[in-house]
Structures are given as C-alpha cells and as structure tokens.
C-alpha cells in the first residue's frame, strides 16, 4: 500500500518543504486575495509539468494524470490567512504584513500539497488513475470550497481527501475517525425595534436594551430544553449592539451569533427556536423582531471506508502508534462542500509541541506549528492518493 519512492521523495524534499511553509507564512494573504500565493503555486506546477487552471478570483485546480485510465482522487489544501496580528514576531519567518497572519496553518497545507504533488509527479507513470490538486482560497470565510465546486473542481472526482494541521494534537499524530469531524456553522442576526426616548422617561418608551438582554438570557434554553442532550449543539451570541448614548433609551438592538451542530434535525430545531424566542420576547415588551438565519458550512462527516483507509495508510507509513483519536470539534470547515460531491475524509495531523511553543490555539497571534509535522502531512497526502488509486 505504501509507495517507497514517495516516502524517499518526501524525505529528500523536507528542507524545501520547510522553506515553502516559511515563505507562505511571511507573506500572508486574506480570503479571495491570495493573488501572489496563486501565482506562486502556478509557477511551481509549471516547473513540475503539471497541468492546471486558475479559478476566479483566486485558487488553482491541477491534475496529475496517470499512465492508465482509472479513478480520480482529489487532494485539497487551503491557502488563505487571517486578519490577526502576529505576536511571536521573533521567529525569522514572521509575517511581513501588519494585521495579517497565517494563524491557522493554511501555509502548511499549501506547502504540504505542493511537495506531495512533486512526489506524485515522480511516480505518475505508475499511477492507475488521476490525482486532482485543489489549492483552495477563502476557507476562513467558508466560501472558497463552494466557489471551486461551482467552477468544476469536483467534476469526475471519485474520492476527496483533506488535511488540517492541528495544534491540539502531538506532533506527527494522525486522527481520522469515521463519522462527524467538524460541525455545521450557521450565523444568526436578530434585530429588535422598540421606541426610543429620554432616559428619564422610560414609561414613554420601549427599551430595546431590555428586549435584547432578555433574549440573550433566555435563548440558551433552546439548547438545554429543546434539543436532545445526546445531540451536540452550541449557540453563541458573539455581538450585541444597543443604544447610542448614556441617557437615551435604545430604540434598536442588533444581536449576532453562531450555531454549531452535527445533525440536520437539531439544526432545524434551533433555527426555528431562535425565531420563536425573538418574536415572543419582543411581543412581551411591545417591540418587534426581525430574524435572519444564514446556513453556512455543512458538517464534515468522514465516510467510513475513506477514513479507515487513511488510518491504514498512516499506520503503514509511520507506524501504528501514530494513530490518534481526536474528538469531533464544534469548529467549522468548508471542506464539507467537497464531501457533498463525493465520498471522502478529512484528517488532522498533530503539530503541538510544548518544547517548541506550538500548542497555541488556532487563530491566536502566537499560533505556530512544529515544522517536523510538515513531512507527515505531505506524505499522508501523497500516500493516500496512491493507496486509493491502487486499492
């Protein structure tokens, strides 16, 4: 199942892999702004002789065609950075752009996929099928995968595989469990309208601050009383805008939050509950409510056969002790849009190492990765493609 040529190639390219990651890290680009990154990927693929086409506005779809016809497996690596100020500026590869940083590991994903492509290109005459390479933009705003699918990224694909570097797992460990991995992520916005007025004359007003506060204090009972306790769900109010001045009773209030679920029935129930709570709370005080519920990503559900193949590949490539059982996260991943088109799986590769200070949470200004994990991810990409096409 494991191709020794691929393993040797990844080892030979390890220094280049680290250099690529550091270059991407120092030059971060935000979602749908990955112009330089896209150009670099295209130039790199040109040198490898791998055919590709750009997607709009950014992103690349490439394909390594094997010597014989067969199935097509897609490998995905995302490319965008975050609006986060880098705090660990002492590292030699620190971001050169103020307020922008690769604080989630997408620089690692792009680098690993490029080196995996280089290793696979070296054995393309032995491939009984094709490997599609998806260099995806805009994962951080949960739009890039959907845009790539709309532009034909998954046409003819039989299976899809993705990787995320994970600072909460020890370096080199690999987790890919069948079933739920990442949650569906939705956004809700609630606008309350009352009647403003002088702070000294509350009897003439309908205080939107009171309405909004009552909603925030009560809406969590949707989770505690309307949802099956065995169906994980999170409802978070992250933003609240009320009022304009200390002595003016607020006429308007805006509340924004997110809902995370793994189950569609649970998702439906929470959406319904938010509207009911908003309308009823507003009615109690004589206000009105307007609710906007935006469905974002689908849950990432690892298909059973694909996930078990990842486990088998990882065990054979790195030893059985590399396997790790990471619990599902309520974090979101737009890789789910690829899984809507073909079966597949999404693996986590550990990069947490306390000795290298790489256990910071994703999206933190001190986030960094143990670069020893890069080779693990690059080889897992390439060996999975090889194993899938040869099974």
User: Are the C-beta atoms of residues 297 and 336 closer than 8 Å to each other?
Assistant: yes
Torsion (CA) 298, 21, 58, 102 in degrees, nearest 10: 60
pLDDT, tens only, 58-87: 999 999 999 888 999 999 999 999 999 999
Residue 160, classed as helix, strand or coil, is: strand
Q: What is the per-residue pLDDT for 216?
A: 98
The single residue of 29, 34, 80, 370 carrying the catalytic annotation is 80
Active site residue 368: no
Reference 375, options 25, 1, 5, 8; nearest CA is: 8
CATH T-level topology, domain 4-180+300-390: Aminopeptidase (3.40.630)
Distance in angstroms (rounded) separating the CA atoms of residues 45 and 176? 29
Distance in angstroms (rounded) separating the CA atoms of residues 369 and 348? 13
Domain ranges of the chain: 4-180+300-390, 184-297
SS3 content of the chain, % helix, strand, coil (to 5): 40, 25, 35
From the centroid of its chain, how far is CA 142?
Answer: 7
When pLDDT is cut at 50, 70 and 90, the band that residue 1 belongs to is confident
Active site residue 139: yes
Q: State what percent of residues in the chain have pLDDT above 70.
A: 100
The single residue of 78, 107, 139, 251 carrying the catalytic annotation is 139
Q: State what percent of residues in the chain have pLDDT above 90.
A: 99
When pLDDT is cut at 50, 70 and 90, the band that residue 30 belongs to is very high
Give the CATH number of domain 184-297; options: 3.40.1260.10, 3.30.70.360, 3.40.50.300, 3.40.50.2300. Answer: 3.30.70.360
Q: What is the per-residue pLDDT for 65?
A: 96
B/e letters for 302-340, b = 16+ CB within 10 Å, e = fewer, are bbeebbebbbbbbbebbeeebbbebebbbebbbbbbbbe
The overall average pLDDT reported for the chain is 97
Q: For the chain, give me the number of helices (H) and strands (E)?
A: 11, 15
């Amino acid at each position: 199942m494991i191709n020794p040529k691929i393993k040797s190639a990844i080892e030979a390219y390890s220094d280049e892999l680290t250099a690529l990651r550091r270059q991407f890290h120092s030059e971060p680009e935000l979602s749908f702004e990955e112009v330089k990154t896209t150009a670099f990927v295209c130039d790199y693929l040109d040198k490898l002789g791998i055919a590709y086409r750009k997607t709009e506005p950014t992103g690349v779809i490439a394909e390594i065609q094997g010597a014989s016809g067969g199935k097509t497996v897609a490998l995905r690596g995302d490319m965008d950075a975050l609006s986060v100020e880098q705090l660990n500026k002492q590292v030699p590869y620190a971001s050169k752009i103020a307020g922008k940083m690769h604080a989630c590991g997408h620089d690692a994903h792009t680098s690993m996929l490029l080196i995996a492509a280089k290793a696979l290109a070296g054995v393309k005459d032995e491939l009984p099928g094709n490997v599609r390479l998806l260099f995806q933009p805009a994962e951080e705003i949960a739009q890039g995968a959907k845009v790539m699918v709309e532009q034909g990224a998954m046409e003819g694909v039989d299976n899809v595989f993705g990787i995320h570097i994970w600072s909460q797992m020890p370096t080199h460990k690999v987790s890919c469990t069948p079933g739920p991995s990442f949650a569906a992520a939705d956004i809700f916005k609630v606008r309350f309208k009352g009647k403003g007025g002088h702070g000294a004359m509350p009897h003439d007003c309908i205080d939107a601050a009171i309405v909004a506060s009552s909603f925030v204090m009560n809406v969590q009972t949707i989770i505690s009383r309307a949802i099956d306790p065995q169906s994980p769900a999170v409802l978070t109010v992250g933003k609240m805008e009320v009022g304009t001045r200390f002595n003016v009773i607020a006429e308007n209030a805006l509340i924004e939050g997110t809902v995370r679920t793994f189950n569609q029935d649970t998702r439906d129930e929470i959406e319904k509950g938010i509207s009911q709570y908003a309308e009823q709370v507003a009615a109690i005080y004589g206000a009105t409510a307007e609710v906007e519920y935006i469905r974002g990503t689908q849950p990432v559900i690892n298909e059973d056969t694909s996930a078990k193949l990842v486990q088998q590949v990882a065990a054979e490539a790195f030893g059985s002790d590399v396997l790790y059982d990471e619990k599902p996260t309520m974090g979101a991943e737009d890789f789910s849009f690829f899984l809507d088109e073909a079966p597949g799986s999404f693996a986590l590769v550990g990069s947490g190492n306390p000795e290298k200070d790489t256990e910071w949470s994703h999206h933190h200004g001190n986030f960094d990765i143990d670069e020893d994990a890069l080779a693990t991810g690059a080889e897992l990409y390439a060996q999975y493609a090889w194993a899938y096409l040869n099974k």
